Amino acid sequence: MLIDKKVIKRKKRIGIFLGTFDPIHNAHIHIAQGAIKNVGLDSVIILPSFKSPHKGEGISISSKERMTMCELACYGENLIIASDVEIKNKLEGYSLKKIDLIADDYPNSELYYIIGSDAYLSIRQWDNLEDLIGKVVFCVIMRNYNDTQRVEEIKSELEVLGGKTHICNFKTLDISSTGIREKIRRGDSIKDLVDKRVENFILANNLYLK
């Protein structure tokens, strides 16, 4: 029996974008949009962290405020949504549970773990890497093209373990959450760095002034 290839539907491709988003800014949305176009993702889920995965790295404001800003930044973006899965379940660090929870919400989907090339360079040191390899495709956003050779080498190393990596080559925006917080403390404008709704929320709630 011949099967019409047109009726065979591929699995949905769901991007997972984790971070503190303290605050979320235009470069984050640009990365999500770039991953959608570059990889052919059906959607990207932005997951603000409950706490910073890095010891000693504090988060300036509450998880509820960061979640609200993520929702505001995603407003009007049909393929980019914010999820409170990590915050609601009070997950910390690089817990695999957050991946499992997203997988439960999106059955029969292929999950793409969006990660900067700088973080990808140290991925061999991650706990539970082999378990993660079995759950996601790594979607690497190149931040420094001087790292291209090493990124390709790590991609090959992970392939030996059964891992899959998609390297995205598009220009990212030079914006950082740290820089935005510093601008706010100095009283400088951030209107070109974050969504207008996010800017209004920050100003209305006097965030990042201390």
Torsion of CA 33, 45, 62, 73, to 10 degrees: 40
pLDDT band at 210 (very low <50, low <70, confident <90, very high): confident
Residue 165: inside a domain, yes or no?
yes
pLDDT of residue 91: 86
Residue 181: inside a domain, yes or no?
no
Provide the residue range defining the domain that includes 144. 10-174
pLDDT (tens digit per residue) in 57-83: 556 789 999 999 999 999 999 999 999
Residue 190: inside a domain, yes or no?
no
> Is 88 or 59 the better-scoring residue by pLDDT?
88
Inter-residue contact 115 to 139 (CB < 8 Å): yes
Count of domains for the chain: 1
For residue 118, which of 93, 157, 147 has the smallest C-alpha distance?
Answer: 147
In the predicted structure, residue 1 carries a pLDDT above the cut 50: no
For residue 89, which of 53, 52, 122, 51 has the smallest C-alpha distance?
Answer: 51
CATH number at residue 40: 3.40.50.620
For residue 118, which of 201, 196, 176, 179 has the smallest C-alpha distance?
Answer: 176
pLDDT (tens digit per residue) in 95-153: 688 999 999 999 999 999 999 999 999 999 998 899 999 999 999 999 888 999 999 99
Reply yes or no: is the peptide bond before residue 48 cis, omega within 30 of 0. no
Q: Could you give the count of Cα atoms lying within 13 Å of 67 in the half-sphere of its Cβ?
A: 13
Q: Which residues of 71-89 are buried (b: 16+ CB within 10 A; e: fewer)?
A: bbbbeebeebebbbbbbee
pLDDT of residue 34: 97
Question: Alpha carbon 29 to chain centroid distance?
Answer: 9
Residue 77: inside a domain, yes or no?
yes
For residue 140, which of 39, 23, 19 has the smallest C-alpha distance?
Answer: 39
pLDDT of residue 192: 95
Residue 180: inside a domain, yes or no?
no
Residue 130: inside a domain, yes or no?
yes
Q: To 10 degrees, what angle do helices 26-35 and 63-74 make?
A: 60
Question: Alpha carbon 134 to chain centroid distance?
Answer: 19
Q: Is 203 helix (H, G, I), strand (E, B) or coil?
A: helix
What average pLDDT does the chain have?
91
pLDDT of residue 55: 44
Residue 22: inside a domain, yes or no?
yes
Residue 204: inside a domain, yes or no?
no
- The share of the chain scoring above pLDDT 90, in percent, equals 80
